[in-house]
Amino acid sequence: MAPVTLDLSKEVLSASGDRDLINGVPILLDGTQKEQVVMTKWISTDPQHADWRPDTFWDEEVTVDVGGRGKTKRIQVEGADGELRSLGVDDGTIVKLRATMTSIVGMVPGLPPMSQEAAEDYEEAQGMNVPRFQQWDFRIREVLKTDGPEARRQLTRGEDQKRINSQTEMYDAFTKMFQMGMSGQASGELSPNAGDVIAEGMRRAEEQK
């Protein structure tokens, strides 16, 4: 399978020119990009091995390349350095795929999928049954650009700030308890022990989470 290269700068804007990154801005696709198979899946024809089969279409959505951990590119984009790379989650892109069943194939471990005729010949020659599978080929139906990366950055900043606030609150609690202990010693009153100071500080920190 040849990879499909997406140009994420080719946005299809609304008549008003708005960019709705929350719901996604469509990316322009040509006929070749929509015709290229980017992923294939198989479903057993044996009811005992497959309890679900699509009716007419099989739709899926992905946010990263489907080539398999970057080993083989199937959906790629141009990086900042001009080099082509696999689509990644930081691109903030939703790729909608649609599959149609293209054939029934025979599959034997260690061999590529066989046509019906080849599977019958193999069965006759080897004296064994060849399991049959529906072959579903996925193509790109639509691509949407979203604000996913920025949303993740805002979430990370929010979590960082929350952690800082928690640590500050814990420090303040320790300081106050220490001051109470020193004051108690100066007046002859019983001061809290270290365990109480730590427990109180941890309690206040948990309340900030």
∠77-80-85 over CA atoms, to 5°? Answer: 35
pLDDT digits (tens, 9 = 90+) for 47-62: 888 888 898 999 999 9
The pLDDT value given to residue 205: 57
C-alpha distances (whole Å) from 2 to each of 73, 92, 113, 117, 133 are: 8, 23, 19, 27, 24
CA–CA–CA angle 29, 137, 27 (5° rounding): 15
DSSP 100-120: EEEEEEE--TTS--B-HHHHH
pLDDT for 88-102, tens place per residue? Answer: 999 999 999 999 999
Q: What is the number of residues in the chain? A: 209
pLDDT in tens, 133-191: 999 999 999 999 998 765 555 545 545 555 655 566 666 666 666 666 555 555 555 45
Query: Which two three-digit tokens encode residue 140?
Result: 């790109």
CA 23 to each of CA 2, 51, 93, 135: distance values in angstroms, whole numbers, following the listed order: 29, 33, 11, 32
Residue 124 has pLDDT above 70, yes or no: yes
pLDDT (0 to 100) of residue 136: 97
